[in-house]
Amino acid sequence: MKLRYCLLCFLLGLVLSACNVPTARDIAERAAEPDLDQVLTAVFTEVVPTETPAPTPTAEPTPTEIPPEILTVCLGTEPQSLFIYAGASRSMSTILESIYDGPFDTLDGDEVPVIFDAVEVSEETVPVDKDSVIYDADGNITAITVGTRFETVNPVKDCGYEGCQVSWYTGMEDLEMTQTVITYHLKSGLKWSDGEPLTAEDSVYSMNVIGMKGISSSKTLIHLTESYTAADDLTVVWKGIPGYVPQKVSECFWTPLPKHLLNGMSAEQLLSDESVNRAPLGWGAYRIVSWTDGEELTAERNPYYVAPDGSTPFFDKVVFKFYGKAGDNNLQALHSGTCNIIDTSVDLDGDLEPILEDVRDGKLSAYIRPQQVYYQLTFGMDSLKEGRVKGYTDYFASSGVRKALAQCINRPALIRQVVYGQSEVPVDFYPTDHADHAADLTALPYDPDGAAEALTVAGWVDDDGDPETPRMAQGAQGAAYGTKFEITLAYPDNERAEKAAEMIREDLARCGVSVIPEAQDLGTLYGQGPEGTLFGRNFDLALFAWSSASGNPCELYDSSQIPAQSNHWVGTNVGGFSSAAYDDACAAAREKGVLGENREAFEAVADIYAELLPAVPLYFNPEIAVSDNTTCGLDLHIGSRSILWNIESLSRSDTACAVSQWKNIYEN
């Protein structure tokens, strides 16, 4: 109170003094007096001190979370299992590419070792005698007994001349055969996705698993194997039975299984265990973390995986979606951004034309490559069809007739109509880009005029000058005089085959050959002989597909492969083609295998095939995959298990980076 009173009096005095007229002295004195604002400020500063506010704490910046890079793949089917000996499907192979790297990649016919530093092939000379298990001259696994035929190391000594085959009899001694040996040297540092090292014993364990009773996978290779051992942690040695020469080194290496995890489990346990079948360990770029039945499977980056170049996979996760085999569902998912890739397990054949249009318009990218499955028009040369009489209605006895019929068919036009130009006319068993393709061969051209002349020379004459009526045999090999060139064409009952059959009918009609197409269900067409059309040899012409992807494809037309009662109607040479020269060339190619360069031998087979022409190869079946334009690095190869064979090197870009593999039919 006292302070406030003094202050009030002071202020009042200042006001009253302001009412007097100031003198010069007053002005000078007042100038030295404090200003009212100064006084008030000084009073309140001294009497009412204020607290300095505490500084406001600065919030720590929240780091921006980078979303994971996710690759989404549409599959045609949901696998029943991912256990390698529980079955096989394209969808399964695609998923396994994410967790298994290799062991080999097959790229356009070349084998690329993935998990090996080296693979060595050698041969040893081993003694054989009665009861020795060998691979005989007829390609059978057998124990030597009286009459067994096989090749020895010293044919001149053992049977009289170079290249001869021993026919064993009691008392034969000092016989030796060749044994193939393949040594696989694994890379060091390979690890399972649980961090345990991958060793040679894991591959040996895998061979033992496939040999278990209850595992239904083929055991043929086991029977062709004399021994399969781990020489050390990183070395596997395979030895075949004497006389057997594999065609590829990849055939004799068993895909590793994690012995440290699975050892001791029975076949029944392996086939039923959830971790084995739904989340198997691998050594590849990813590991499986979840599987939602009927919807999707997710894999995440494997922390123990190191790419050969030391890099880390771009994608953090890979999600496999199960949208079914129909192309339209999957294409809709791709266009909406739900999927980045549609795998070859999806049936895109019926969607090929709109896919090509979208590629042309820059809406998506496509990967279309001819595969080792080719459609052919097979001649029933030794047909058992009712009404065919040997020596009277052997329409195709002459190779000149067979080649003329091939030139009657406009195969480039057929390819354009049936598969929208996305294939090529075969000249041998392999597409042009395949390593074993016979580069020196050319396909017979479409030449209906030349074909007509060749048919006349071969004794099939157009006696009335009307190309609409069938030619007649007048001196034709294998056909009675006056026999009309009227035949049937069996084909599978589907839209693509029907279109091809109709084009073949029209083309052959212009050459004076009457063809009646007959659509057949698969049960009838591929049924067991003697009733089945193909394996019972009950046809004139047959349109169907064969695969040249496994084994030695020349065996498809080997005379030993003619289905007959004697072999229980089992064989791939359904047309009944028979040529000793072809059989010998095929055997020579088969014998070389991994022991030597056999491409020259294959070319010799291809030359005979092209000259004798047991069938008209029409086109290789194209395999189709598609993607968005910003998924980088996709590259579909002939013979690869999946378009994801190089999943560890795929990436994504903000701009278009995908490179389509297709034949641009819109350029002209």
CATH, residue 636: 3.40.190.10
Same domain, 461 and 572: yes
pLDDT number for residue 47: 38
44 part of a folded domain: no
Query: 275 phi and psi, to 5 degrees?
Result: -65, -35
Written as six digits, the tokens of 306 are 């190191």
Domain that holds residue 419: 371-621
Residues in CB range of 315: below 8 A, 6 or more apart: 69, 70, 71, 301, 650, 651, 652
- Of 487 and 162, which is predicted with more confidence? 487
Distance CA 217, CA 220 (A): 9
* Mean predicted confidence (pLDDT) in 536-559: 89
* Mean predicted confidence (pLDDT) in 165-187: 95
Same domain, 355 and 376: no
* Mean predicted confidence (pLDDT) in 466-479: 92
Same domain, 375 and 353: no
- Of 597 and 76, which is predicted with more confidence? 76
Same domain, 605 and 543: yes
Same domain, 521 and 600: yes
**What is the end-to-end Cα distance of the chain in Å, rounded?**
108
> Does the pLDDT of residue 280 top 60, yes or no?
yes
Please report, as a single letter, which amino acid is at residue 10: F
> Does the pLDDT of residue 1 top 50, yes or no?
no
Distance CA 36, CA 54 (A): 32
* Mean predicted confidence (pLDDT) in 465-473: 89
pLDDT number for residue 307: 86
586 part of a folded domain: yes
DSSP string, 246-276: -S-GGGG-PPP--HHHHTT--HHHHHH-HHH
53 part of a folded domain: no
pLDDT number for residue 290: 97
Q: What is the CATH number of the domain that holds 251?
A: 3.90.76.10
Which helix (DSSP H) or strand (DSSP E) does residue 240 occupy?
strand 235-240
How would residue 236 be classed by pLDDT, with cut points 50, 70 and 90? Answer: very high
Please report, as a single letter, which amino acid is at residue 553: P
pLDDT number for residue 607: 93
What pLDDT digit, counting tens, does each position of 363-400 carry? 999 999 999 899 999 999 999 999 898 888 999 999 99
* Mean predicted confidence (pLDDT) in 573-592: 90
pLDDT number for residue 548: 80
Residues in CB range of 391: below 8 A, 6 or more apart: 478, 480
pLDDT number for residue 139: 86
**Low-confidence winner among 28-42, 295-309, 602-616 (lowest mean pLDDT):** 28-42
48 part of a folded domain: no
Which 8-state DSSP code applies to residue 479?
A: B
Instruction: State CA 359 to chain mean position distance.
Output: 22
Same domain, 116 and 256: yes
What pLDDT digit, counting tens, does each position of 524-546 carry? 999 999 999 999 999 999 999 99
CA-to-CA separations, 213 to 128, 262, 459, 565, 599, in angstroms, rounded: 29, 16, 59, 31, 38
94 part of a folded domain: no
Same domain, 202 and 294: no
* Mean predicted confidence (pLDDT) in 212-231: 96
pLDDT number for residue 601: 80
Same domain, 224 and 315: no
pLDDT number for residue 11: 32
User: Which of 236, 264, 292 lies at the terminal end of a domain, its last residue?
Assistant: 264
pLDDT number for residue 52: 52
- Of 163 and 188, which is predicted with more confidence? 188
> Does the pLDDT of residue 20 top 60, yes or no?
no
Residues in CB range of 163: below 8 A, 6 or more apart: 155
What pLDDT digit, counting tens, does each position of 54-63 carry? 555 555 666 6
* Cα angle value 263/268/271 (rounded, 5°): 85
pLDDT number for residue 600: 78
Same domain, 147 and 215: yes
What pLDDT digit, counting tens, does each position of 320-362 carry? 999 999 999 999 999 999 999 999 999 999 999 999 999 999 9
Same domain, 357 and 246: no
Please report, as a single letter, which amino acid is at residue 41: T
Distance CA 622, CA 515 (A): 27
pLDDT number for residue 35: 43
Q: Pick from 115, 84, 284: which is nearest to 184 by CA?
A: 115
Distance CA 334, CA 342 (A): 7
Q: How many domains does the chain have?
A: 3
pLDDT number for residue 31: 37
Please report, as a single letter, which amino acid is at residue 306: V
Q: What is the CATH number of the domain that holds 603?
A: 3.10.105.10
47 part of a folded domain: no
User: Which of 264, 294, 311 lies at the terminal end of a domain, its last residue?
Assistant: 264
Distance CA 126, CA 114 (A): 32
Instruction: State CA 465 to chain mean position distance.
Output: 51
**Low-confidence winner among 34-43, 130-139, 214-223 (lowest mean pLDDT):** 34-43
**Three-class SS state of 404:** helix
Q: Pick from 472, 489, 490, 469: which is nearest to 481 by CA?
A: 472
29 part of a folded domain: no
> Does the pLDDT of residue 14 top 50, yes or no?
no
Same domain, 325 and 399: no
Please give the model's pTM, rounded to 2 decimal places: 0.86
Same domain, 309 and 404: no
Residue 92: exposure state from Cβ atoms within 10 A (0-12, 13-18, ≥19): buried
pLDDT number for residue 54: 57
> Does the pLDDT of residue 32 top 50, yes or no?
no
> Does the pLDDT of residue 156 top 90, yes or no?
yes
pLDDT number for residue 466: 85
pLDDT number for residue 34: 42
What pLDDT digit, counting tens, does each position of 104-132 carry? 999 998 999 999 999 999 999 999 999 99
> Does the pLDDT of residue 422 top 50, yes or no?
yes
- Of 439 and 183, which is predicted with more confidence? 183
323 part of a folded domain: yes
